[in-house]
């Protein structure tokens, strides 16, 4: 079995399996904890709306912190939105998702994707430099922070290198030329999938659980977050 065959076959299946089991394990670990009974009367029963409101309201910093956090917030939104555009807007990625799920949608022009990829890479580099040069952030950072950054950057870097090695229909799964380059890109994506449930990147899924729970509890108490 050559590298590209492994990357688009056994490696991909193993990565998705670990990702799904890992996320399920994290969710089970959270919800298995018993909930302390609240003996007070609820101020409202609209806890679902409170949960949804908090999920979205926490995306905007409180007024008191906007000035001091403006740069980090803008930079954070830049690479998060950039990653989403690259994942869901680039033709090879859409072909990849279509082959797995059957879902499809129009792709963005390659020029737009290239520009977004460049901005996203710069934004991630800026985030790393800020973390390493800020005394407080540097003190609080650990292996998880730096490895999570690495496995996020790696598919971007290898994806740029793999642009000229795609298959005729634009799918990395059908690449026949420069298969090693495409295989390395797929393996870097599989590394991201494997690490995501166990590191801080799990916030991509768990953030909705934590914010929703907080919003629901605050709504029951009649408070707004």
Could you write out the three-class secondary structure of 80-127? HHHHHHHHHHCHHHHHHHHHHHCCCCCCCCHHHHHHHHHHHHHHHHHH
- CA 207 to each of CA 54, 157, 175, 198: distance values in angstroms, whole numbers, following the listed order: 11, 26, 36, 14
Which pLDDT score, from 0 to 100, does residue 168 have?
Answer: 47
Angle between helices 110-133 and 143-161 in degrees, nearest 10: 150
State yes or no: pLDDT of 81 exceeds 90. Answer: yes
Place of tokens 């922070």: 145
Q: What is the mean pLDDT of the chain?
A: 86
Angle between helices 179-195 and 143-161 in degrees, nearest 10: 150
Structure token digits, residue 195: 């690490």
State yes or no: pLDDT of 18 exceeds 50. Answer: yes
DSSP letter for 177, please. S
Comparing 198 with 99, the larger pLDDT belongs to 198
Which pLDDT score, from 0 to 100, does residue 45 have?
Answer: 75
Distance from the Cα of residue 205 to its chain's centroid: 8
Comparing 157 with 47, the larger pLDDT belongs to 157
Structure token digits, residue 184: 């390395």
Residue 126: which of 77, 198, 176 has the closest Cα?
A: 77
Angle between helices 179-195 and 10-31 in degrees, nearest 10: 10
> Which pLDDT tens digit goes with each residue over 160-192?
887 755 544 455 445 455 678 888 999 999 999
State yes or no: pLDDT of 78 exceeds 80. Answer: yes
> Which pLDDT tens digit goes with each residue over 51-64?
888 888 888 888 88
Which pLDDT score, from 0 to 100, does residue 150 have?
Answer: 96
Cα distance from N-terminal residue to C-terminal residue, the chain? 54
Place of tokens 């492994």: 6
> Which pLDDT tens digit goes with each residue over 99-139?
888 999 999 998 898 899 999 999 999 999 999 999 999 99
Which pLDDT score, from 0 to 100, does residue 31 have?
Answer: 86
Record the pTM: 0.83
Which pLDDT score, from 0 to 100, does residue 173 have?
Answer: 47
């Amino acid at each position: 079995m050559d590298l590209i065959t492994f990357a688009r076959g056994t490696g991909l299946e193993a990565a998705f399996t670990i990702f799904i089991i890992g996320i399920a394990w994290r969710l089970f670990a959270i919800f298995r904890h018993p909930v302390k009974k609240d003996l007070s009367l609820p101020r409202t029963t609209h806890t679902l709306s409170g949960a949804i409101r908090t999920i979205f309201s926490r995306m905007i910093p409180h007024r008191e912190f906007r000035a001091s956090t403006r740069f980090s917030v803008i930079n954070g939104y830049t690479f998060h939105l950039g990653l989403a555009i690259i994942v869901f807007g680039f033709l090879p990625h859409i072909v990849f998702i279509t082959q797995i799920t059957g879902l499809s949608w129009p792709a963005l022009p390659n020029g737009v994707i290239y520009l977004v990829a460049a901005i996203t890479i710069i934004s991630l580099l800026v985030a790393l430099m800020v973390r390493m040069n800020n005394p407080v952030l540097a003190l609080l950072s650990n292996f998880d922070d730096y490895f999570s950054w690495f496995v996020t950057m790696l598919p971007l870097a290898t994806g740029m290198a793999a642009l000229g090695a795609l298959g005729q229909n634009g799918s990395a799964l059908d690449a026949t030329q420069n298969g090693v380059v495409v295989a390395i890109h797929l393996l870097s994506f599989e590394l991201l999938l494997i690490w995501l449930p166990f590191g801080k990147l799990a916030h991509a899924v768990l953030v909705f659980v934590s914010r929703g729970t907080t919003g629901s509890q605050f709504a029951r108490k009649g408070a707004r977050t």
